[in-house]
A and B are shown apart, each in its own frame.
Chain A
Amino acid sequence: MGKVIVVTSGKGGVGKTTTTANVGGALTKLGKKVLLVDMDVGLRNLDLVMGLENRVVYTFMDVLEGRCTADQAMVKEKHAGGALMLLAASQLHNKQDLDLDKVKEAIAALAEEFDYVFLDSPAGIEHGFDASSAPAGQALVVVTPDVTSVRDADRVIGLLENKGVRDCSLIVNKYDRTLIERKKQLTSDDIVDVLGTELAGIVPEDKAIIDATNRGDILVLSQSTPAATAYLEIAHRLEGDETHFSALSTGRSLLSIFRRQK
């Protein structure tokens, strides 16, 4: 039985979908079989980030409502040799149409076939978030170093705890070392301190992400940039390996140490 992990944040625009695609992609580099499920019914985007928008025929909703099998609905990512699959969200339904019991049952069945199942939650704390967190045993909370994002993350972590998802960890996204050095941005230590939740990773601000998304490539599967390195570190940490946070190190020397270790 694979791990079922919800990727969530409360606030929109912090990078949930990009994180889902890249952490999933990074795990395939460690030899894992990974399924990504877009839970943002009505506003799907994971297919676009992965460059699979033209290959989606059936959606997760079709699976839930019995119009097709999961195997028919899953779409294979282009570069991971079948190790990375997508279940897209329906654009023709509302989030309310997700039946929690059916979602749980379907995800539990899929978790038998994969090492990891990631549920890419919609923004907000309403039904879409409920449906994404109900099947999850673990949560990755994506947060940017802004007061608004940290506040929303705190709310989401509280709600996840109430639902029994106690294994929460943080991904601090869009980390800008220049701003940190000028004392103009919350540090990862500040965020961990305020939220009382452990860190799964720190992803630096990296323009290569924009290029990769424009092309429909998953960064970690196509390039070795600082953000790609950070996603690999998160994958290692999910696998229980100790790695350092390269986004915190100054200069290139530590980064190259990590690369040698691989």
Chain B
Amino acid sequence: MNWFHKATNEIAKERLTFILVQDRSQLSPAVMEQMKEELVAVIGKYFDIDKAQIQLNVERQEGRQVVETSIPIKGLRHS
């Protein structure tokens, strides 16, 4: 991400989106990482996943907090 050329309103939105996930979940970045690792361990048993692309969001939808994760699959695990 190149913050030098980016409009500052976009930077503001990105920073907010990032910090609000932490604020809403009330989890520290370390605990957040740990949760990602655990998710990788479970989902990774069944799918070949792209660990670098995992996204975790805490969003507000119709007055409720919703945890959303996006875990891209590279392929199926063949057992």
Contact = CB atoms under 8 A, between A and B. Distances in A.
B7 A184 contact: yes
Contacts of B10: 183
Contacts of B70: none
Interface in B1-57: 7-10, 12-13, 15-17, 19-20, 23-24
A146 to B, nearest CB: 8
A197 B7 CA distance: 24
Given A158-B60, A184-B7, 4 more contacts: A158-B24, A180-B9, A186-B16, A197-B60
Q: How many of chain B's residues touch chain A, expressed as a range?
A: 10 to 19
A103 B13 CA distance: 38
17 contacts: A147-B12, A147-B15, A151-B16, A151-B19, A151-B20, A155-B23, A158-B65, A168-B63, A183-B7, A183-B8, A183-B10, A184-B7, A184-B9, A193-B13, A194-B17, A195-B60, A196-B60
A215 interface: no
B24 to A, nearest CB: 6
A150 interface: yes
Contacts of A228: none
Contacts of B12: 147, 186, 190
Given A154-B20, A154-B23, A186 B63 contact: no
A121 B47 CA distance: 50
Contact of A184 (B8, B16, B19, B23): B8
Contacts of A166: 63
Contacts of A239: none
Contacts of A9: none
Given A151-B23, A154-B20, A158-B65, A196 B9 contact: no
Contacts of B16: 147, 150-151, 186, 194
A166 to B, nearest CB: 4
Contacts of A187: 9
Interface in A185-231: 185-187, 190, 193-197
Q: Which of B7, B8, B63, B64 has the most CB of A within 10 A?
A: B63
B61 interface: yes
B20 A194 contact: yes
Across the A-B interface, the 9 shortest Cβ-Cβ residue pairs: A196-B60, A183-B7, A166-B63, A190-B13, A183-B9, A147-B12, A194-B16, A186-B12, A154-B20
Interface string A168-187: 10000000000010011111
A196 B16 CA distance: 13
Nearest to A189: B13
A126 interface: no
